[in-house]
């Protein structure tokens, strides 16, 4: 199939600001590139670092006026809300500890929010932000980026259609090997903050990548976790947070789950894998080979679905023809495109439908925070069963 889709040249270009994403940031640069994919957004303001000097340096490199660069999130939210040409939304890409304060500051000033995951540290904080967004009638997106992958969306359509029947059991894993060495001892920025509880929060491995398993399973299956038991291991000299975790789960419909997340799995790069088994069939998705989906129906040979082909549902929208791999940046871009389409429609005074709002929202962020907290609580209790309500 040669046709491609994606992007919307008719919608207005939205001005936005960024929190975080300064010197040495990985995810901030990803967000900037993804937001720019469809020409829908223009970065015009920022507080890119705790250091104003670093913010000025980053802003200058991005061609942003010094007048739109701020020393902290509170000054930026106030300044942008007061401008007649102020930003329409903010993208929060800073480390975890800053998410709550930043999101609250912009929501209070009536500015729509896109925030990196995990949303916040505490359940009450997530609930407060969700309530604030609803009270202010603001869009609130939590960047679980893999939900923008076409074949992950196709997997969701297969489950929704009932083709694999009732989901019985789920196996999810997210394996990396990058923290098998103590990189934080060499001042490697990404390792340093992720292993620091004051910045990362109560969990590293489960919080950073285990939360992606939780959301991927939830997104595809619609299942809600009833209870879980978790064993979190802190592997690595003098580390304070987990780097390896195993979780057993029971969902509200009675199905079972088994998750493994690790950052010390030597030989694994970024292996997010989800296997879903139902009464009529099964599906498997591998993020590192994300343009394909393995589908098996009862008493039929296994099929490999390939992104970009006409036999897929409209949900698996493709940007480029089949055989040309779409990947990480495109998944982020798909979420940004969906969010900005909805925001443009909202600004125009049009009614938003469920299809318009098909991006990870505050409730998805809350589910992730509940999952992380329950895993930590269970591990502290010798891997005892903990209900998601804690």
Same domain as 282, residue 167: yes
Same domain as 230, residue 82: no
DSSP 213-280: HHHHHHHHH---EEEEEEEEE--STT--S-SEEEEEEEETTS-EEEEEEES--TT-SSEEEEEEEESS
Over the stretch 75-104, which tens digit does the pLDDT of each residue have? 999 999 999 999 999 999 999 999 999 999
Which pLDDT value is given to residue 5?
54
* 6 pLDDT more than 90: no
Same domain as 312, residue 194: yes
> Quick check: is 263 in a domain?
yes
Which pLDDT value is given to residue 9?
46
Over the stretch 339-360, which tens digit does the pLDDT of each residue have? 999 999 999 999 999 999 999 9
In angstroms, rounded to a whole number, what is the distance separating the alpha carbons of residues 374 and 179?
24
* 4 pLDDT more than 80: no
Same domain as 172, residue 76: no
Beta strands 303-306 and 256-262 are unpaired
Confidence band, pLDDT 50/70/90 cuts, at residue 24:
confident
Number of domains in the chain: 2
Give Cα 107 distance to the centre of its chain: 19
Same domain as 342, residue 304: no
Q: Which residues contact 327 (CB under 8 A, 6 or more apart)?
A: 290
Confidence band, pLDDT 50/70/90 cuts, at residue 1:
very low
CATH code of the domain in which 226 resides: 3.30.360.10
* 3 pLDDT more than 60: no
Same domain as 54, residue 91: yes
> Quick check: is 324 in a domain?
no
> Quick check: is 4 in a domain?
no
Over the stretch 290-346, which tens digit does the pLDDT of each residue have? 999 999 999 999 999 999 999 999 999 889 999 999 999 999 999 999 999 999 999
> Quick check: is 59 in a domain?
yes
> Quick check: is 2 in a domain?
no
pTM: 0.95
What's the chain's average pLDDT? Answer: 95
> Quick check: is 329 in a domain?
no
Same domain as 99, residue 111: yes
Q: At residue 22, what are phi and psi to the nearest 5 degrees?
A: -80, -160
Mean pLDDT lowest for which of 7-21, 132-146, 297-311, 346-360?
7-21
> Quick check: is 165 in a domain?
yes
Same domain as 348, residue 213: no
Average pLDDT over every residue of 276-280: 98
Same domain as 269, residue 347: no
Class of residue 267 by CB neighbours under 10 A (exposed 0-12, middle 13-18, buried 19+):
exposed
Same domain as 261, residue 120: no
* 257 pLDDT more than 50: yes
Over the stretch 171-198, which tens digit does the pLDDT of each residue have? 999 999 999 999 998 988 899 999 999 9
Same domain as 340, residue 285: no
Same domain as 162, residue 133: no
CATH code of the domain in which 20 resides: 3.40.50.720
- By residue range, what is the domain housing residue 90? 14-146+335-359
Which pLDDT value is given to residue 390?
61
> Quick check: is 247 in a domain?
yes
* 73 pLDDT more than 70: yes
């Amino acid at each position: 199939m040669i046709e491609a889709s994606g992007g919307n040249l008719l919608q207005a270009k939205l001005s936005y600001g960024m929190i975080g994403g300064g010197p040495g940031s990985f995810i901030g640069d990803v967000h900037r590139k993804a937001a720019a994919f469809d020409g829908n957004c223009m970065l015009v303001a920022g507080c890119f670092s705790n250091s104003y000097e670093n913010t000025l340096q980053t802003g200058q490199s991005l061609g942003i006026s010094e007048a739109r660069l701020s020393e902290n999130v509170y000054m930026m939210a106030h300044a942008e809300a007061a401008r007649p040409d102020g930003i329409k939304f903010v993208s929060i890409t800073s480390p975890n500890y800053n998410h709550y304060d930043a999101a609250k500051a912009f929501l209070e000033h009536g500015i729509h929010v896109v925030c990196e995951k995990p949303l916040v540290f505490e359940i009450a904080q997530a609930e407060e932000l969700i309530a604030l967004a609803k009270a202010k009638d603001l869009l609130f997106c939590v960047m679980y980026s893999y939900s923008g992958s076409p074949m992950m969306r196709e997997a969701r359509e297969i489950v929704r259609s009932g083709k694999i029947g009732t989901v019985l059991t789920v196996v999810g894993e997210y394996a990396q090997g990058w923290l098998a060495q103590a990189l934080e001892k060499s001042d490697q920025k990404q390792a340093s903050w992720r292993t620091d509880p004051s910045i990362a929060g109560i969990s590293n491995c489960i919080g950073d990548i285990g939360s992606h398993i939780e959301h991927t399973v939830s997104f595809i299956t619609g299942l809600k976790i009833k209870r879980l038991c978790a064993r979190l291991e802190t592997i690595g000299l003098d580390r304070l947070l987990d780097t390896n975790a195993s979780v057993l789960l029971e969902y509200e419909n009675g199905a079972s789950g088994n998750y493994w997340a690790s950052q010390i799995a030597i030989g694994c790069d970024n292996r997010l894998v989800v296997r879903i088994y139902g009464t009529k069939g099964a599906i498997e998705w591998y993020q590192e080979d994300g343009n394909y989906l393995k589908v098996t129906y009862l008493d039929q040979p296994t099929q490999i679905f390939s992104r970009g082909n006409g036999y897929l549902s409209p949900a698996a929208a493709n940007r480029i023809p089949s055989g040309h791999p779409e990947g990480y940046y495109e998944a982020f871009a798909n979420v940004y495109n969906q969010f900005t389409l909805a925001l443009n429609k909202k600004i125009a005074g049009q009614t938003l439908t469920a299809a318009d709002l098909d991006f990870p929202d505050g409730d998805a962020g809350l589910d992730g925070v509940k999952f992380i907290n329950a895993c930590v609580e269970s591990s502290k209790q010798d891997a005892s069963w903990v209900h998601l309500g804690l």
